[in-house]
Structure 1
């Protein structure tokens, strides 16, 4: 009798936990400004254990993986990806275009050969070591959800039903619904930066401080911050670093 009650209590706890998680995720399905939506996405991902992310959803006819993205990946990695033309050997991009099942980075890294090995080694230098990429499909659009977190490399992911990986799979449809509202809108990401906004983002991307940029461009630090804030707002970014990464990925600036 005690075992029966124990199982019931566990079921009640699990149900309550799932409902709480789903309520937390539902914020991503509500109408909001793109910048607020991504801020919520970042918070949700961090709460379930993921720090770095790149989500994309765009026309399946384009060859540009950065067609429509939201990311906080290091701008240095995005720049190197373009400079070394990793798009030609990117196993993540290839996998997500051809399959529906997730790609676990650690396993893919161990199976890599030739140029793909260089791709995985390069990513690891920027902290993109252990993670997973989930293909996304919606109407005529495709893309992927890519996340990474710091974990013991011996145990990439566990099978705990309440663990980070299980919650990530639960989260995916909520992200997909939100992406349809924010990344699939015509012109949503096709913003226009002014010359000065592009300049401050480029200088910020190569590591210049606000003070250094004010001296280089001959204006006040307040003016520099003003242009960075405007550029961040247009790009839907919540930080200077992300504004640089997004502008770089979309081809709005080059470093």
Structure 2
């Protein structure tokens, strides 16, 4: 597996290797997620790659389950791989899970999960998940899968960073300036003073940038701009 990942020539090759690894460990699906921003409650918005059925994602998002899951915040902030079964989660978080969520998971054959927290050089937080209906993982299996995940993500990130620098920025120079200052915590008024613009003009640049990057607010805009390598 390590040789296959090391020999990858594209992000698609890495993702194919992860799909093969999932099957080797008797998992059905593999998913790479980026940490949700602000009040984002849609799984579809934080997916980098997944082999999950589109019907599952649609139903999951229709019910806004992402914002109701008690594990999400902890998983993205953790440094260690974790594994669980839906039965164990139901027992541990009785009364905190939406009643229909376990039924949805079981209907799509997701009863056991292994999750690997990952971090990019820019500080972004990702999560690589393996899902399926296999028995609970033993610690040696989890450790082995964790090493595969780290290696694959390292190679994946190298390709991603290369692609960032080879693709022209979708934002204008002025829009990038506004986003950079926003990332540093400046308000529209403060940015206007720095760039000698009215706050109305600053807000117009911000609105354009939000639309171009398909975001819903400034927080998500800054996070996505960082993820795309448009700002550091």
TM-score tier (shorter): 0.5 to 0.7
Contact 2:32 2:48 in 1 (8 A): yes
- The equivalences for 1:52-71 within 5 A come to 52-57=29-34, 63=40, 65=43, 66-71=45-50
Contact 1:59 1:142 in 2 (8 A): no
1:25 offset after TM fit, Å?
1.8
Match of 1:131? 113
1:146 corresponds to 2:125: no
- The equivalences for 1:1-255 within 5 A come to 24-57=1-34, 63=40, 65=43, 66-106=45-85, 107-118=88-99, 119-138=101-120, 139-152=122-135, 156-159=136-139, 161=140, 164-182=141-159, 185-186=163-164
1:60 offset after TM fit, Å?
6.5
1:144 offset after TM fit, Å?
0.5
Contact 1:128 1:148 in 2 (8 A): yes
Q: 1:45 to 1:75 in 2, by over 3 A?
A: same
CA distance in 1, matches of 2:77, 2:52: 24
Deviations 1:110-143 (A, max 9, x none): 2123342533332222111112222212232111
CA distance in 1, matches of 2:49, 2:57: 12
Q: 1:37 to 1:132 in 2, by over 3 A?
A: closer
- Please list every run of 5 or more consecutive structure 1 residues that lacks an aligned counterpart in the other structure: 1-23, 189-255
Instruction: Please report the TM-score for the alignment, with normalisation by the length of structure 2.
Output: 0.57
Q: 1:69 to 1:136 in 2, by over 3 A?
A: same
1:54 offset after TM fit, Å?
0.8
Instruction: Please report the TM-score for the alignment, with normalisation by the length of structure 1.
Output: 0.52
- Please list every run of 5 or more consecutive structure 2 residues that lacks an aligned counterpart in the other structure: 167-232
Aligned residues: 159
User: What's the secondary structure of 2:147's corresponding residue?
Assistant: helix
User: What's the secondary structure of 2:97's corresponding residue?
Assistant: helix
Q: 1:59 to 1:82 in 2, by over 3 A?
A: closer
CA distance in 2, matches of 1:104, 1:120: 16
